[in-house]
Amino acid sequence: MARVVTRDWAVPLIHFENVGLRYGMGPEILRDLTFDIPRRSFQFLTGPSGAGKTTLLRLLFLSLKPTRGLIRMFDRNISSIPREEFPMLRRRVGIVFQDFRLLDHLTTYENVALPLRVRGKEESSYRSDVLELLKWVGLGERLNVLPPVLSGGEKQRAAIARALIDRPEILLADEPTGNVDPPMARRLLNLFMELNRLGTAVVIATHDLSLMDQVEARRMILSQGRLDIYE
């Protein structure tokens, strides 16, 4: 069945209101977060180590439930969405992990095609799209290579390509330049900006100040569980 996505451009992709989160009986990791992720926006999520960036990304990816507060994604209150519908919502979000999370027994091509495969699409229907995207991220010659053979930068690009293959409405990237040298970091950043120009909202979690200085973009700074936003 075709996915019907209605887009009201005024409605943000994601809306947080007084969101708080604590693990177990511990202190609140995130406190009173209220913000929007507008469509087609580009932002950095930053803060010191342990500030809760990864936790916030997990909230954004529906992988964690808030202890309190309201989260709306794609104009729906997530607390009222049945669990069975979560995979469908996750398909509208692309995520890139710091540790890539590529499957070592699948080739670069198969890893990138994985999201389409789990959607039940025939290989013949997506082969050209995957090949084109791999060329775009500079992995056109590494199609049949297994991840253990890829360099850090190649793995990162493969992980990004996997997150982008089904044209998500928002891309979340956790320390996407954490494992690469500065020139590669610059190339990856250009990739994200190009993607943003094509209409995808981008959230990059990083504590790399030099990376952020390269782009004039919204900054969301997490500190001691609170969020400050600099437009």
Partner 1 sequence: MRVRPTGPIVPSANVSGNALMCVIAIMSFLACLTLGGVSMVRATAQSWQSQISREITIQIKPDDNLDMERALADARDLALTFSGTTGGTIIDRAATARLLEPWLGGGLDLNELPVPRLVVVTIDESNPPDFAAMRKALTETIPQAFLDDHRTWVDRLVAMASTTTMIGTGVLVLVFSAMVLTVVFATRGALSGNRHIVEVLHFVGAEASFVAAEFQKHFLRISLKGAGAGGLLAALSFALASFWQSQTLATPETDQATALFGTFAIGYTGYLGIFAIIVVIALLTTLTARLTVMRTIYEIDLIRSDPGRTDTFQG
Would you tell me which residues interact with partner 1 (CB under 8 A)? 21-24, 26, 61-67, 83-84, 86-88, 90-91, 95, 97, 101-103, 105-107, 109-110, 113-115, 117-120, 123, 127, 131, 140-141, 143-144, 162, 166
Residue 43 phi, psi dihedral angles, 5° rounding: -145, 155
Pairing label, strands 170-174, 68-73? unpaired
Query: What distance in Å separates the CA atoms of residue 72 and residue 31, rounded to the nearest whole number?
Result: 17
The structure tokens listed for 161 are 């390509």
CB of 204 to partner 1, least distance (A): 17
Q: Which is nearer to partner 1, 140 or 182 (CB)?
A: 140
Residues 6+ apart with CB under 8 A from 50: none
CB of 88 to partner 1, least distance (A): 7
CB atoms within 10 A of CB 187: 16
CB of 207 to partner 1, least distance (A): 19
The structure tokens listed for 193 are 């900006």
Q: Which is nearer to partner 1, 12 or 66 (CB)?
A: 66
Q: Which is nearer to partner 1, 123 or 228 (CB)?
A: 123
Instruction: Give the Cα-Cα-Cα angle 109, 114, 118 (nearest 5 degrees).
Output: 150
CB 159 within 8 A of CB 100: yes
CB of 63 to partner 1, least distance (A): 6
Q: Which is nearer to partner 1, 134 or 217 (CB)?
A: 134
Q: Which is nearer to partner 1, 63 or 224 (CB)?
A: 63
Query: Looking at this protein, which amino acid is placed at residue 126?
Result: Y
Element (H, E) at 38: none
CB of 97 to partner 1, least distance (A): 8
